[in-house]
Structure 1
Amino acid sequence: MFDVIIIGGSFAGLSAALQLARTRRPIAIIDAGTPRNRFASHAHGVLAHDGKPGSAILAEARAQLAAYPNVTQLSGTVNLAAPLASAKLAFQVALDDGTEVQGRRLILATGVRDILPELPGVAERWGRSVLHCPYCHGYEIGGGPIGVLGRLPASVHQASLIADWGDVTLFTAGMPPLDDDALALLARRKVSIEGSAVTAIEGESPAISGVRLADGRLIPLRALFLAAPVQQASPLAQQLGCELEEGMMGPIVQVDAMKMTSVPGVHAAGDAARAMANISFAMADGVMAAVGAHHALITEEGQAQPA
């Protein structure tokens, strides 16, 4: 019986594991090896790790955790998480290889999955020259022409934001008509508006030279940003009965200030439980979820009746 089982071993999960490792309590962390940022070659904006590959940061974190004898690291996908009938507050977790573990608390760091448009050239460039976060990738573009593929109402805000990193064109085909406030904002931010639909991305992948429009024109670009809707990468939160709420890009797990979900004993951290996401936010969330789970264990133990 572990004190805490952490499901998901990317930045949120590993940060939670490190905090709990230092409490000397027995914990397990389970990871399938598919972090959301695996498509990007380097991570930026991460204090003391700027420009390192995300995979290298995660590998270093796993190696550091291996030095703690109270930490068990398991590889695999969790298919089932459910309350344990034989205990007042504990959970049974089953992996795809048949392994089963039990824990008094769960931390879900299971992430989200980006839903990309069915546009030729997007998938193979995702995280390289087709992007979603200017804080993560904008500096490296180095200015010049940048496109924003309009998909959601949030694309107007995205285009106005990205204008700090270059000369932005917002491609509006498929979006609702822009109202006067949106048009005024884009004008103030010097964002150009293009109404013809984008039909393909051109250039030697993973680079981009421009986008081809439905009317045949080629618009030269150095990068293309898009607002990607998201879905929960794992069904575990719903399986456990955790309440979800609508984030900016899709459903996220509802949590309180200590990252506790609506289900007692279950915390959630990282992209699965926050609307605005990057590595630094995920790591901070993991720390808070770990502290929340540890405090909850202490409270439970303090209330236990002596035998």
Structure 2
Amino acid sequence: MTDQLEKKYDAVVVGGGAAGLNGALMLARAKRSVAVIDAGEPRNAPAEGVHGLLGHDGVAPAELTARGRAEVRGYGGHIAEGEVVDLRRDGAEFTVTLADGRAVGARRVLVTTGLVDELPEIPGLRERWGRDVVHCPYCHGWEVRDRAIGVIGSGPMSVHQALLFRQLSDDIVYITHTVPPTAGQAEQLAARGIRVVQGEVAGLETEDDELSGVRLANGTVVARDAVVVATRMVARAGFLASIGLSTVEHPSGVGVHLVTDATGRTDVPGIWAAGNVTDPSTQVGASAAAGAAAGAQINFDLVNAEVEAALVEYRASHAAVAGVVAG
């Protein structure tokens, strides 16, 4: 269900995941008019459940979103389905344009569009992503605990992943692929009993639709029950180019993100960002918290603007009265 968009809102939230919905909830509870525009492409769609979220551990991503939408609507917020393709300044405010041609005005904008996980070009990974091909020990680690896990060297954090998953299983193999460990890292892996297998990965092996191993380019198959890969995490922020915002490489080297200050402010006044679009490693709970904090900051910014406008009017009216009295 999508709500009819009005012409203008105090705040428009672009992206309807945990960060966006919690930001909208804070704004709606502050009696702000708010609309959430969501393209319906959540990063966690392949996952069976959301984990590490107090009180909601294991809830299906779609169910969590549905609950959040209902809560925002309960305070008068609007939820609209659609893809934002352009954002431009309109005087002191903004015009948000959707792919279907709809346009809506906003005094402030909160960007919570998340990111896209770009998987390594290995046949079979995408089909099993979120099942037995995973990347985060806190999101999926418990589900693959005590199994034979293969960590594919595919990004700058791959060795770090291997060391983290070692907490969850005694049987970890690091397959070098495109990221062989340094001498120091190899020593760390050895110290933790993690075997290193040299070679490039050619694909995955399955049996009865269950993962059975990792096939190397030389034909060797390393028997594994689960695979860990490092993705390149790319913030969904292309539509911000028209407003002068662009993504930059994240300091960790894991992908690109949108830079903000500690409150979620971007370099463009009036635009905030929260969640994975600015912090690739943030999980659902932290994303929701960041969205709530940004929503509160936006309300505070609007309050300040309204106070300033009221002061101008107040001083002008009192000056006029004083002039009449003096005359």
- What's the TM-score bracket when you normalise by the shorter of the two chains? over 0.9
In the alignment, is the contact (CA less than 8 A) between 1:105 and 1:293 conserved in 2? Answer: yes
Matching of residues 228-307 of structure 1 within 5 Å: 228-242=231-245, 244-247=247-250, 248=252, 249-304=254-309, 305-306=312-313
In the alignment, is the contact (CA less than 8 A) between 2:199 and 2:216 conserved in 1? Answer: yes
Over the matched positions of the two proteins, sequence identity in percent amounts to 37
User: Offset at 1:100?
Assistant: 0.8
In the alignment, is the contact (CA less than 8 A) between 2:87 and 2:96 conserved in 1? Answer: yes
Q: Counterparts of 1:190 and 1:24 in 2: how far apart (Å)?
A: 56
Match of 1:109 among 108, 112, 128: 112
Higher alpha-carbon deviation: 228-237 or 107-116: 228-237
Partner of 1:74 in structure 2?
A: 80
Instruction: Report the residue type matching 1:141 in the other structure.
Output: V
For 2:67, what is the secondary structure of its paired residue?
helix
User: Is structure 2 residue 126 aligned with structure 1 residue 119?
Assistant: no
Matching of residues 51-66 of structure 1 within 5 Å: 51-66=58-73
Q: Counterparts of 2:212 and 2:241 in 1: how far apart (Å)?
A: 42
Q: Counterparts of 1:12 and 1:146 in 2: how far apart (Å)?
A: 31
* Distance verdict in 2 for CA 1:160–1:28, change over 3 Å: same
Partner of 1:173 in structure 2?
A: 177
For 2:142, what is the secondary structure of its paired residue?
helix
* Distance verdict in 2 for CA 1:246–1:206, change over 3 Å: farther
* CA radius of gyration, larger in: 2
Q: Deviations over 1:104-163 (max 9, x none)?
A: 000000111111112111111111111111101111113121011101232111111111
Q: Supply the RMSD in Å over aligned alpha carbons.
A: 1.5
Question: TM-score, normalized by length of structure 2?
Answer: 0.88
Instruction: Report the residue type matching 2:107 in the other structure.
Output: R
Partner of 2:324 in structure 1?
A: none
In the alignment, is the contact (CA less than 8 A) between 1:44 and 1:51 conserved in 2? Answer: yes
**Count of paired positions:** 302
Please list every run of 5 or more consecutive structure 2 residues that lacks an aligned counterpart in the other structure.
Answer: 1-7, 317-327
In the alignment, is the contact (CA less than 8 A) between 1:32 and 1:75 conserved in 2? Answer: yes
Q: Counterparts of 1:41 and 1:136 in 2: how far apart (Å)?
A: 11
In the alignment, is the contact (CA less than 8 A) between 1:8 and 1:32 conserved in 2? Answer: yes
Higher alpha-carbon deviation: 6-15 or 271-280: 271-280
Q: Counterparts of 2:138 and 2:209 in 1: how far apart (Å)?
A: 20
Please list every run of 5 or more consecutive structure 1 residues that lacks an aligned counterpart in the other structure.
Answer: none
Matching of residues 185-264 of structure 1 within 5 Å: 185-204=188-207, 207-242=210-245, 244-247=247-250, 248=252, 249-264=254-269
User: Offset at 1:215?
Assistant: 2.4
User: Offset at 1:236?
Assistant: 2.4
Q: Counterparts of 1:228 and 1:186 in 2: how far apart (Å)?
A: 21
Q: Counterparts of 1:127 and 1:225 in 2: how far apart (Å)?
A: 10
